[in-house]
């Protein structure tokens, strides 16, 4: 409810129209980020333009330190934008909110709550009726295939399981967009591949709008429908690469010629000179 109120009091933006016409969920225009510190100012990113459409799965790749996390945090409302603007559907960002769910690289489950209560957290805040809360929790436990762990505490889960619960917790809140910052980078290769497949399946069924940051090009190609390649610092969009691959994907896709070619194409775009 409060979300609607917030939206109504926001000033009208010119960019609304432009964004709405394109059915845009995240519309970032001319984003600039400067970090101020005692050693001087750092221009982290400049002139970044990004457009994520409804139900799209968009990946951002780029060399380390190019500002991928910063961009995601700005969309989440956790970091100040130095210049430019980001519009979420039709409103400007004034801080973090439940409309932008996020999954972090580090494990962020609330350790004092069971898996079920973690997933329920956002629903409780929004005062959803108790019965409905239970239904939503059960639904997402099923989606992440952890029904048996509803009453477990996070410390009893493996890294992959923790990230699955984090995804369920974010999705259960039915956000406008789901932001993910290298959620699988701490996992072993096998678990990582399983998680990628699960993520793709979730997306095909639930159709969330996803903005996903990774430095793993294979992951980006496998998951997304569109990839933004950023340059090294100061980060800016080097190229927007559409991913023309089959809609229904499984891990065998990674061995096909089309996949490998696209992976190579994206890899060639990445600035490897920075290291």
Partner 1 sequence: MIKIKIRKKLSKKNYLLLAITAFVVLIAAWTIASVTGSIDAIFLPNPTKVLNYYVEAIKDGSLLENTSISLYRILLGFILAVILGIPVGILMGTFQKVEAVVRPLCEFIRYMPVPAFVPLIMVWVGIGENAKITVIFIGTFFQLVLMVADDALSVPDDLINAGYTLGTSTTQTIFKIIIPAMLPRLMETLRMMIGWAWTYLVSAELVAANSGLGYTILKSQRFLATDAIFGGIILIGILGLLTDRLFAFVNKKLFHWSESAH
Q: Of 26, 22, 73, which Cα lies nearest the Cα of 49?
A: 26
Tokens (6 digits) for 157: 């889960």
Cβ nearer to ligand ATP, comparing 65 with 96: 65
Determine which residue in the list 34, 43, 53, 78 makes contact with partner 1, applying CB under 8 A. Answer: 78
Given the rule CB under 5 A, which of 65-73, 79-87, 118-126, 165-173 is the region that contacts Mg ion? 65-73
Residue whose entry in the numeric block shows the structure tokens 């050693």: 39
Q: Is 111 near partner 1 (CB under 8 A)?
A: yes
Q: Is 69 near Mg ion (CB under 5 A)?
A: yes
CB of 69 to Mg ion, least distance (A): 3
Q: Which 17-76 positions form the footprint of ligand ATP (CB under 6 A)? A: 35, 37, 42, 44, 62, 64-70
DSSP helix/strand/coil, 250: coil
CB of 101 to partner 1, least distance (A): 6
What are the Cα distances from residue 174, in Å, to 27, 171, 203? 19, 5, 13
**Inter-residue contact 11 to 74 (CB < 8 Å):** no
**Inter-residue contact 115 to 137 (CB < 8 Å):** no
Determine which residue in the list 62, 63, 116, 154 makes contact with partner 1, applying CB under 8 A. Answer: 154
Given the rule CB under 8 A, which of 43-51, 54-62, 168-176, 198-206 is the region that contacts partner 1? 168-176
What are the Cα distances from residue 61, in Å, to 107, 235, 254? 21, 11, 18
Q: How far apart are CA 256 and CA 204, in angstroms?
A: 20
Q: Is 215 near ligand ATP (CB under 6 A)?
A: yes
Interacting residues toward partner 1 by CB under 8 A:
76-78, 95-98, 100-102, 104, 106, 108, 110-113, 121-122, 125-126, 153-155, 166, 169-170, 173, 179
């Amino acid at each position: 409810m409060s979300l609607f109120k917030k939206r109504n009091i926001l000033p009208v933006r010119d960019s609304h129209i432009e964004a709405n016409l394109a059915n845009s969920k995240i519309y970032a225009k001319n984003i600039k980020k400067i970090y101020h510190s005692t050693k001087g100012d750092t221009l982290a990113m400049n002139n970044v333009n990004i457009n994520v459409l409804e139900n799209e799965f968009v990946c951002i790749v780029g060399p380390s330190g190019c500002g991928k996390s910063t961009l995601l945090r700005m969309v989440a409302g956790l970091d100040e934008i130095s210049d430019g603007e980001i519009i979420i559907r039709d409103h400007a960002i004034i801080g973090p909110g439940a409309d932008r769910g996020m999954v972090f690289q580090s494990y962020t489950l609330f350790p004092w709550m069971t898996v079920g209560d973690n997933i329920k957290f956002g629903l409780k805040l929004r005062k959803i009726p108790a019965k409905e809360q239970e239904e939503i929790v059960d639904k997402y436990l099923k989606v992440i295939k952890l029904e048996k762990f509803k009453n477990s505490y996070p410390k009893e889960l493996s890294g992959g399981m923790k990230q699955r619960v984090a995804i369920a917790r974010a999705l259960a809140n039915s956000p406008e967009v789901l932001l993910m910052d290298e959620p699988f980078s701490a996992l072993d290769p096998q678990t990582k591949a399983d998680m990628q497949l699960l993520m793709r399946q979730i997306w095909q069924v639930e159709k969330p709008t996803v903005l996903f940051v990774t430095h793993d090009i294979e992951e980006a190609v496998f998951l997304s429908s569109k990839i933004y390649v950023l340059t090294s610092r100061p980060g800016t969009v080097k190229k927007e690469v559409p991913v023309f691959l089959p809609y229904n994907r499984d891990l065998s896709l990674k061995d096909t010629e089309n996949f490998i070619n696209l992976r190579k194409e994206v890899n060639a775009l990445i600035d490897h000179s920075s290291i």
